[in-house]
Structure 1
């Protein structure tokens, strides 16, 4: 069996960030939007660092103006994920980009995304759940509005709440109100940290926001006491190695700390983050990790089980996906 054929569970995927460049160019043509300078000579997204990446990401969202645009996007993204063997995915969704945090508009976008997810499940056998994220560099007040959208639409599909964006702006405690509101609505919590903010950002997210998962979190390796805390508390890291390497956080795959974190007892998972931006797929992540650390199929199956255990889904969905994993492993 090739690694591509292994059944995979992905927990850290930005829906807009997973848009194929050709899809965004097509929407831009339809809407007569000028995206000149946003793509390289090969047609991929063009950026030089994380902060320029954020600008290109947000520019791409300017083509996504209607619920139907998001319906089409969701179908395209899930088809790509399923082609890499992903059977369960959680995607970050931002009412900031879907209706400007207006609850009525957000409900329309959400309905379109859910309908597309149902089609993809029937067509490609992939299950999707949504994690609503506030955008850190948009500020705490807008995060409150986003949290209210999350609380009002929490349920079988919207199962989590988190925060993304520029880690160097503000502190996790500034967003405590939004996370408390989401928690009270029954949503499970994650936060981007430990990518650009260093180990202190991980500790702050754990202590100030009381999350159970950390998006990225790899800079924790610079503080071994924090690594031990993550292991002892069973905090799950949504690790995106290809993203970290593409953005220059680590020089190459062998230099990435995912293997060391795993050896020290931290629960790690594997995701793609914004795959076309970083020229990756879940299948490619598996291949490169195999090349770097000689992980075999058994190791990847164990990580898939860890991912499913950490998934923000209901018990029935988890049991169904577990049967799919077991059947694929048989």
Structure 2
């Protein structure tokens, strides 16, 4: 059955490339899991207290946002049923957000648990089962990206091996996430960064050799040369966030020319302090004005607590139009990691959803 046959309504018209699976579980599910496992809950133990604790009430920094994961990961570690549940519910929520195709990402190694009672492969399989059930029930095509985590090089090759093993079973690529500051030495130049990031570079070079698709969190908090390293040394096909590329005009123009896709997350960029609220123009506005290749994504919905409608409301205030939203979806579809035949079907379905005659 192809993608067109699975989609029953043209309302599904969005393509979602940058979203973290564990960071997008429902707060009610997290609350339920923590109660089941007798894990501590904030305040009086009510759901609203947990939601308030997770919420970013004022802009912080990325490290502060990542600290919120201390509430998320213990609820899932070693629990294959919970991981499958979260993946299934994620697809249901994507359907509610008019998403046609989604590529959630997560690090299976982070969910193994201290006891090691399950393996990273079992964790991956649980997530894939949940996505597959959700896809069948809700008509959203879902594929998985596996994340390396900066500062955990011992897990890099295993993550790549799992990507390779499951490449035809629902895993379509890999990423590296985490605090970008860990990759930038104090002296801050590109040469020293390359030297200190040998493990990251090696695993992505091997991924390229194996034909595994690659996206890299780069230029998120780090300088523009992190984007250049991602492209030239890690062979990245897409860039997660990438806002600081604007600090290097020559590199930015190269990215426009080469149609490098930037997975932008406007709301999270403000909440995580990646883009100061005092900044007159958000980088995504510059990307739009210059005809760059980009999309708008939600990142971690349980932490930032917004939907696609919230995201689009923000973008409309920035001057974005419905035509811009459609363009972002087509850009995302073309940049997705589906095999070419499935990508072609996705693009046909998008054309239909947007009321455009099929000219492909």
Structure 1 length normalisation: TM-score? 0.90
Mapped partners of 2:50, 2:68: distance in 1: 16
Kindly state the Cα deviation for residue 290 of structure 1 after the two structures are TM-superposed.
1.6
1:109 alignment partner in structure 2? 123
SS in 1 for 2:137: helix
Higher-Rg structure is: 2
SS in 2 for 1:111: helix
SS in 1 for 2:51: coil
SS in 1 for 2:348: helix
Change (3 A) 1:192 1:85: same
Count residues in correspondence: 325
Provide, for residues 7-43 of structure 1, a one-character-per-residue CA deviation record: whole Å limited to 9, x for no partner: 1001001000111222111100001111437997472
2:162 aligns with one of 143, 146, 149: 149
2:20 alignment partner in structure 1? 14
* Contact preservation (8 Å) 2:42, 2:49: no
SS in 2 for 1:43: helix
1:56 alignment partner in structure 2? 68
* Contact preservation (8 Å) 1:173, 1:209: no
Provide, for residues 206-243 of structure 1, a one-character-per-residue CA deviation record: whole Å limited to 9, x for no partner: 12211111000011112211210111222110000011
* Structural RMSD (CA): 2.5
Structure 2 length normalisation: TM-score? 0.83
SS in 1 for 2:220: coil
2:282 alignment partner in structure 1? 256
Q: Are 2:79 and 1:79 equivalent residues in the alignment?
A: no
1:182 aligns with one of 207, 217, 226: 207
1:119 alignment partner in structure 2? 133
Mapped partners of 1:325, 1:156: distance in 2: 24
Kindly state the Cα deviation for residue 254 of structure 1 after the two structures are TM-superposed.
6.3
SS in 2 for 1:313: coil
* Contact preservation (8 Å) 2:334, 2:347: no
* Contact preservation (8 Å) 2:55, 2:305: no
* Contact preservation (8 Å) 2:205, 2:233: no
2:172 alignment partner in structure 1? 159
Kindly state the Cα deviation for residue 173 of structure 1 after the two structures are TM-superposed.
4.1
SS in 2 for 1:11: strand
Mapped partners of 1:302, 1:324: distance in 2: 14
Deviates most, 109-118 or 233-242: 109-118
Provide, for residues 103-132 of structure 1, a one-character-per-residue CA deviation record: whole Å limited to 9, x for no partner: x72332222222222222222211111111
Q: Which runs of 5+ in 2 are unaligned?
A: 1-9, 184-192, 356-360
SS in 2 for 1:188: coil
1:43 alignment partner in structure 2? 51
* Contact preservation (8 Å) 1:199, 1:223: yes
1:288 alignment partner in structure 2? 314
1:131 aligns with one of 145, 156, 166: 145
SS in 2 for 1:327: helix
